[in-house]
Amino acid sequence: MTTLSTPARAVTERYEMVVGLEVHVQLRTRTKAFCCCDTAFGAPPNTNTCPICLALPGTLPLLNAEAVRLAVRAALALGCTVHETSIFARKNYFYPDLPKGYQISQYDRPLATGGRIAIGKNADGTPITIGITRLHMEEDAGKSIHDRYGGATAIDLNRAGVPLIEIVSEPDMRSAREAVAYLKVLKQILEYIDVSDVNMEEGSLRVDANISARLRGETRLGTKTEVKNMNSFSGVERALEAEFVRQCTLLERGEKIHQQTMLWDGARGEVRPARSKEESHDYRYFPEPDLPPLRLDRAWIEQIRAELPELPQARQARFAESYALPAGDIEVLTANAKLADYFESVARQHGDAKSAANWVMGEVLAALNATGQSVEHFAVRPADLAKLLDLVRDGVVSHSAAKQIFAHMAETGDPPQQIAEREGLIQVRDADELARWVDEVLAENPTEAARFKNGEKKLLGVLVGLVMKKSKGRADPRRVNQLLSERGG
Amino acid sequence: MTTTTSAAEAVAASLRRMDEVKAGADGLNCILWSDREHALAEARAIDESRAQGPLAGVPFVAKDNIATLHLPTTCGSRILEGYVSPYQATVIRRLREAGAVLVAKTNCDEFAMGSSNEHSAYGPVRNPICPTRVPGGSSGGSAAAVAAGIVRIALGSETGGSVRQPAAFCGVVGVKPTYGRVSRYGLVAFASSLDQVGVFGATVDDAALAMEVIAGRDPLDSTSADVPVPRYRAAADRPLEGLVIGRPKEYFPPSLDPRIAALCDRALDALRAQGATVRDVSLPHTDLAIPVYYIVAPAEASSNLARFDGVRYGLRVTGDGLRGMYEATRSRGFGPEVTRRILLGTYVLSAGYYDAYYKKAQEVRTLIAQDFRTVFGNGVHALFTPTTPTPAFEFGAKADPYEMYLNDIFTATANLAGVPGISVPVGRVDGLPIGGQILAGHFEEMTMFQIAYALERALGAEAHR
Ligand SMILES: [Zn+2]
């Protein structure tokens, strides 16, 4: 069902996909939403628990102020209106990894509503924007482990009570690619403002989709289904495509779409209906009596807004304006805030933004990818990289020597000048020494020398290369070029 | 309360009294769990440290729905049989830090749901004044323990009259504080927006002293209020001149037993004689309290009791798969009254019924609260009413649940409005104790105690005849 066979494509062409996403994001707090337990990922099972998150009789929730701060920060970054009063509600359902038998969430009075983010441009240059219906706070459930103990399910409650925000979009996306673009922008914004690890593999970002199909030109929404269990961006794209094909095929046959939950099976590349029990919940929401309404001071909200860092799109616009870089470079350099900070620091100290951009996109990213390091822990600090670029610009080291120096810097963190001296990589521009290397190369290669002197200019490159080799890369190639040309007569 | 005896002697006397009155399952059945050696050891430690806390060496008991270390916390339910909490409730901690010694946990209606103590999984409590009658509920065990002279101070809990009503039935003093006055941390939740820990005292002074110790903001309970705690015992000496006491007509309906009405009017005369002014007032939404209460409380209970699922603690009965385990555990673990309220609560919160029941009930609840605000905003300092429409009834007399629910008709309003109330003995009918109730505005416990002290002083031994 995943690959669009020719007949399937013919069917889908007459229809339009309509998608809205519900994204759960774990907030990066030190402690849980309603108790003081650690939120660290990967601790031994049930060690990050206490009477409150185990829901022992008589315990009460205590709201984590840092979780509220991060949720408000996220809401503001997504252009939402943060409400001065919001209300926690209980979402009731039975499941072994939900200790209280209800999840503390927000229902009819969420923290924030009415945001909007741009995810790209249409062919005519107009921006594609996606509305954010609401953003509310809630707590995570624990984990059920079904496959480790024969005939039994194990429960790990370390995750129970970890703070989440749920971000619900409008049904504004018209393709699986737009859905993925939205997720990428959302992830990027949340990374920029430092509220979450937004790691889909570790589960700190989770996506459910509402999808419907309608004939092109139709303005009413069709019956939607909910697609769950998508564990990567590519999974989202493939799942939406598969569900869209399924819906279009049914509609084309004149059948009805049933409002139901579909589960994505990535291994088989298909969606299948969830068992009816998994979708027949009546959550019996009611206001959480153990927590008073959450009241936020308008001035405090404005202070959080003032503390927001520059967001990705603003940064991209400024990079285009201040550094005159091509769009492709900007996209790479602003992929995350730390990399953009790094680039800007190098560019500001060195002065030549294009050269800084080339080095950051080339050597720096290659080194980071090779070691899996994050840029903020990278041994080559921006000031040292800027100095290295200064050395290249001033002709003190050659470009190829600079690459060797950079490799040493990445290993040792030493400053470039020191490495250049230690490794003898300072470019030699002394005329006598250069002349001696040129003469030696000509003497050692009499045939090539003769042909070159007889006017075979294409041998110039070969001879420059030999001189560079003899100098162990230290010779200034421009001068060598000049000297050889003089001798070529 | 000043104790001249040592803590060890006081605790030993309390334990002796338990035996004398047959407090266990073969007698009054007011005591569920006790650990004599532990209590005595704690008392000896207090004597050795010469602790000077306001309750140093005073024995007390706590209702079985309040989390305690060492002793089980079962809420009178099979589903928590044998469960011992790894942490203690804030109220228990505060009493112990003041030097009091927990000697036992007391019987109660299962999960505090009931008005007669007939709904305990561990059997009913007998009223010490008349053992063929109920002690009231749901904190019947604590009321009976005070009435039987086992302790002078006992903790109970209120959701809809569960301290005041048994206090009235057993002839002791019972306090329901303002919602938010006392921490709920460690009180096993029944209906969170109504629940409040309350105290029983042999006298008004015992109750006032215990309240001084347990009241006040607790960072572990977000609904506890940051309001200073006065020295309630200072209310003992305050004259009543200038106080206006309301007599709400809805609490004195024509159907009220005239003997109870007469005892209440005698109490009002006594207050008038001490300088108070009595004024007829009206709280027009009073008759809606029971229907509202029996929507709001079961709704919250259906959610609060979801955690008793057999997964982490308490009873687990295996069944067919996960659902089978849930069903077997909860069917076996919960008694019929708890089951009835969970079903009722689940129903009123269901999609399609929420607006008609729960939302409507909350709206009416604000009207009931508004009644109190209006009357207290018009120069009335407190209200005086009978605590219950009848004295303690015989076992099995209220077989119809709705009949039983009506016994809370004068007490449930205070829980819905969040205001404080106290029940004080005002006399007897057919040898059975009758309680008079004083209700005051939010955090006006001082006024409430002031009137309670005056009433106790005026009626003296009369109240117990
Ligand atoms: Zn915890």
**What are B398-414's pLDDT values in tens digits?**
888 888 888 899 999 99
The residues of B assigned a catalytic role are 63, 138, 162
Tell me whether residue B169 is in a domain.
yes
Tell me whether residue B92 is in a domain.
yes
Higher confidence at residue B1 or residue A418?
A418
Tell me whether residue B230 is in a domain.
yes
Interface residue B334 vs chain A (CB under 8 A): no
Q: What is the pLDDT of residue A8?
A: 61
Give A97 to chain B, closest Cα distance, Å.
9
Nearest to A58 among B89, B191, B309 (CB): B89
Q: Residue A6: pLDDT above 90?
A: no
What are the start-end ranges of the H helices in B215-335? Answer: 258-273, 289-304, 321-333
Q: Which residues of A touch B305 (CB under 8 A)?
A: 101
Mean pLDDT of chain A: 93
Tell me whether residue B220 is in a domain.
yes
Give A23 to chain B, closest Cα distance, Å.
25
Q: Residue B438: pLDDT above 90?
A: yes
Number of CB pairs, chain A paired with chain B, less than 8 A apart: 101
CATH of the domain at B175: 3.90.1300.10
Q: What is the pLDDT of residue A49?
A: 98
Reading the block at residue A76, the tokens are: 């503001």
- Per-residue pLDDT, averaged over B289-316, amounts to 97
Q: What percent of chain A clears pLDDT 70, i.e. is strictly above it? A: 97
Of A292, A293, A300, A227, nearest in space to A266 by CA? A227
Tell me whether residue B459 is in a domain.
no
Interface-testing mutation among B295, B303, B316, with chain A (most A C-beta atoms within 10 A): B303
Cα A94 to averaged position of ligand 1 atoms, centre (Å): 20
First to last CA, chain A: 71
pLDDT tens for B23-70 read: 999 999 999 999 999 999 999 999 999 878 899 999 999 999 999 999
What band does A485 get if pLDDT is binned at 50, 70 and 90?
confident
Interface residue B185 vs chain A (CB under 8 A): yes
Helix (H, G, I), strand (E, B) or coil at B196: strand
Q: How far apart are CA B136 and CA B435, in angstroms?
A: 12
**Is the Cβ pair A101, B307 closer than 8 Å?**
yes
Of A334, A351, A330, A352, nearest in space to A342 by CA? A334
Phi/psi at B200 (5° precision): -110, 145
Helices H, strands E: what count in chain B? 14, 11
Rounded to the nearest angstrom, the gap between the alpha carbon of residue B79 and the centroid of all alpha carbons in its chain is: 22
Give A100 to chain B, closest Cα distance, Å.
5
CB-count burial class (<10 Å; 0-12, 13-18, 19+) for A335: middle
Q: Is the ipTM of this complex over 0.95?
A: yes
CB B95 within 8 A of CB B55: yes
pTM for the structure as a whole: 0.91
Nearest to A99 among B87, B307, B322 (CB): B307
Tell me whether residue B85 is in a domain.
yes
Phi/psi at B309 (5° precision): -120, 5
Q: What percent of chain A clears pLDDT 90, i.e. is strictly above it? A: 79
CB B116 within 8 A of CB B126: no
Q: How far apart are CA A134 and CA A153, in angstroms?
A: 35
Q: Residue A259: pLDDT above 50?
A: yes
Nearest 5°: the CA angle B245, B446, A291 is 110
Of A327, A298, A390, A347, nearest in space to A121 by CA? A327
Q: How far apart are CA A413 and CA A407, in angstroms?
A: 10
Q: Which residues of B touch A56 (CB under 8 A)?
A: 67, 85-87, 313
Give B143 to chain A, closest Cα distance, Å.
22
Tell me whether residue B263 is in a domain.
no
Interface-testing mutation among B108, B193, B218, B309, with chain A (most A C-beta atoms within 10 A): B309
**Is the Cβ pair B192, A290 closer than 8 Å?**
yes
Per-position DSSP letters for B65-132, written without gaps between them: TB--SSS---TT-GGGTT---SS--HHHHHHHHTT-EEEEEE--SGGG--SSSTT-TT-PPPBTTBTT
Task: Tell me B38's DSSP state.
Answer: H
Helix (H, G, I), strand (E, B) or coil at B201: strand
Helix (H, G, I), strand (E, B) or coil at A220: coil
Q: What is the pLDDT of residue B401?
A: 83
Interface-testing mutation among B304, B315, B355, with chain A (most A C-beta atoms within 10 A): B304
Q: What is the pLDDT of residue B281?
A: 98
- Per-residue pLDDT, averaged over A314-318, amounts to 95
Q: Which residues pair with B277 in a beta bridge?
A: B244
Interface residue A115 vs chain B (CB under 8 A): no
What band does A1 get if pLDDT is binned at 50, 70 and 90?
very low
Q: What is the pLDDT of residue A276?
A: 62
**Is the Cβ pair A62, B73 closer than 8 Å?**
no
CB within 8 Å of chain A, chain B residues 260-319: 299-300, 302-303, 305-309, 311-313
**Is the Cβ pair A289, B185 closer than 8 Å?**
no
For A268-392, list the strands marked E by DSSP.
270-273, 286-287, 294-295
**Is the Cβ pair A284, B326 closer than 8 Å?**
no
Q: What is the pLDDT of residue A151?
A: 82
Q: How far apart are CA A462 and CA A401, in angstroms?
A: 19
Q: How far apart are CA A311 and CA A332, in angstroms?
A: 15
Per-position DSSP letters for B243-267, written without gaps between them: -EEEEEGGGS-TTS-HHHHHHHHHH
Cα B73 to averaged position of ligand 1 atoms, centre (Å): 21
**Domain residue limits at B73:** 7-235
Q: How far apart are CA A403 and CA A388, in angstroms?
A: 10
**Is the Cβ pair A289, B192 closer than 8 Å?**
yes
Phi/psi at B232 (5° precision): -60, -30
Q: How many domains does chain B have?
A: 1
Give B261 to chain A, closest Cα distance, Å.
37
What's the CA dihedral at B61, B66, B67, B68 to 10 degrees?
Answer: 0
Q: Which residues pair with B244 in a beta bridge?
A: B277
Which protein residues have a CB closer than 5 Å to ligand 1 (ion)? Answer: A 35, 37, 50, 52-53
Interface residue B187 vs chain A (CB under 8 A): yes
Cβ atoms < 10 Å from Cβ of B230: 16
pLDDT tens for B193-249 read: 999 999 999 999 999 999 999 999 999 999 999 999 999 999 999 999 999 999 999
- B465: CB partners within 8 A, 6+ apart: B427, B428
Q: What is the pLDDT of residue A2?
A: 46
Nearest to A94 among B186, B187, B326 (CB): B326
- Per-residue pLDDT, averaged over A341-362, amounts to 96
**Is the Cβ pair A57, B75 closer than 8 Å?**
yes
Q: What's chain A's length in residues?
A: 489
Q: What is the pLDDT of residue A9?
A: 66
Q: How far apart are CA B227 and CA A325, in angstroms?
A: 61
Q: Which domains does chain A have, with CATH numbers?
A: 6-300 (no CATH), 310-422 (no CATH), 431-488 (1.10.10.410)
Q: How far apart are CA B16 and CA A107, in angstroms?
A: 55
Q: What percent of chain B clears pLDDT 70, i.e. is strictly above it? A: 99
**Is the Cβ pair A58, B85 closer than 8 Å?**
yes
Q: Which residues of B touch A51 (CB under 8 A)?
A: 85-87
Q: What is the pLDDT of residue A425?
A: 85
Q: Residue B371: pLDDT above 60?
A: yes
Give A338 to chain B, closest Cα distance, Å.
38
Tell me whether residue B277 is in a domain.
no
Mean pLDDT of chain B: 96
**Is the Cβ pair A57, B188 closer than 8 Å?**
yes
CB A412 within 8 A of CB A386: no
Q: Residue B294: pLDDT above 70?
A: yes
- Per-residue pLDDT, averaged over B359-366, amounts to 97
Q: How far apart are CA B249 and CA A23, in angstroms?
A: 56
Helix axis angle for B336-349 and B289-304, nearest 10°, is 100
